[in-house]
Amino acid sequence: MEYYDLHTHSIFSDGELVPSEMARRMENAGVSGFAITDHADFSNISWVMSRLRELQNWRDDYGVKILLGVEITHVPPKLIGKAVELAWKEGAEIVVVHGETLAEPVKEGTNEAAIESGANVLAHPGIVDRTLAEKAEDSGIYLEISARKGHCLGNGCVARLLSYVDIVVNTDMHSPSDIITPETAFKICLAAGISKPEVILESNAKLFRNLWKAKK
């Protein structure tokens, strides 16, 4: 069973680990690849990507594949598209948008703006409906089931939309204790009400591999 985590954080935002330790711990947990997606807005997108780009010449020698990107976080909805555009310009290989989680006061309209932005993943979107899911599918953006406490409150709502949109399961890792094995990722999907978790893990693998092929 393969698992690719598309949403994690390093010391370059509010994570606890440098990328090298993240990679070693991920490898030890049986993770095949992961994306570093540090929290970002207009004030630090360029800086975060400049730090992460330092890994580009070295990452092939790590035990896991590493994608480099950002999570656009708490940016006003009308500016999300511009933030995503800036992230791509600064060399991001994956862009996640921080969705309308029940655990934080994310501004209403963020999910809709994220779907229209050209990002890859709408993280922990909270309460979503079929209309939004179908828009996400048309835009090629994946919705997230989250392993993170608080953000996981909307997992059941997202899981019910599997027939209408591609879904991935991510950790939103900030500390070593947040890292999960492929088996745990499978169980989180089961707990969310998904009868065939392998479909979700395959979505993770598909998106990661496509982005890996297209990486800068």
Count of H-run helices and E-run strands, the chain: 8, 7
Rounded to whole angstroms, the Cα distance separating 181 from 78 reads 37
**Domain assignments of the chain as residue spans, ordered by start:** 4-213
Side-chain half-sphere CA neighbours of 79 within 13 A: 12
CATH class of 4-213: alpha beta
CB 94, CB 6: distance < 8 Å: yes
Rounded to whole angstroms, the Cα distance separating 188 from 18 reads 26
- Residue 44 CB-density burial (10 A; 0-12 exposed, 13-18 middle, 19+ buried): middle
What confidence tens digit (pLDDT) does each residue in 36-52 have?
A: 999 999 999 999 999 99
Q: Name the band, by pLDDT with cuts 50, 70 and 90, for residue 216.
A: low
pLDDT at 215 over 90: no
CB 66, CB 38: distance < 8 Å: no
Chain mean pLDDT for the chain = 98
| Radius of gyration of the CA atoms of the chain, in A | 15
What confidence tens digit (pLDDT) does each residue in 1-24 have?
A: 899 999 999 999 999 999 999 999
Q: Which of 33, 105, 112, 200 is nearest to 97 (CA)?
A: 112
pLDDT at 163: 97
CB 8, CB 22: distance < 8 Å: yes
The residue written with tokens 């995503």 in the block is: 84
The residue written with tokens 């790590």 in the block is: 62
For the whole prediction, is pTM greater than 0.85? Answer: yes
What confidence tens digit (pLDDT) does each residue in 87-104 have?
A: 999 999 999 999 999 999
What confidence tens digit (pLDDT) does each residue in 101-126 have?
A: 999 999 999 999 999 999 999 999 99
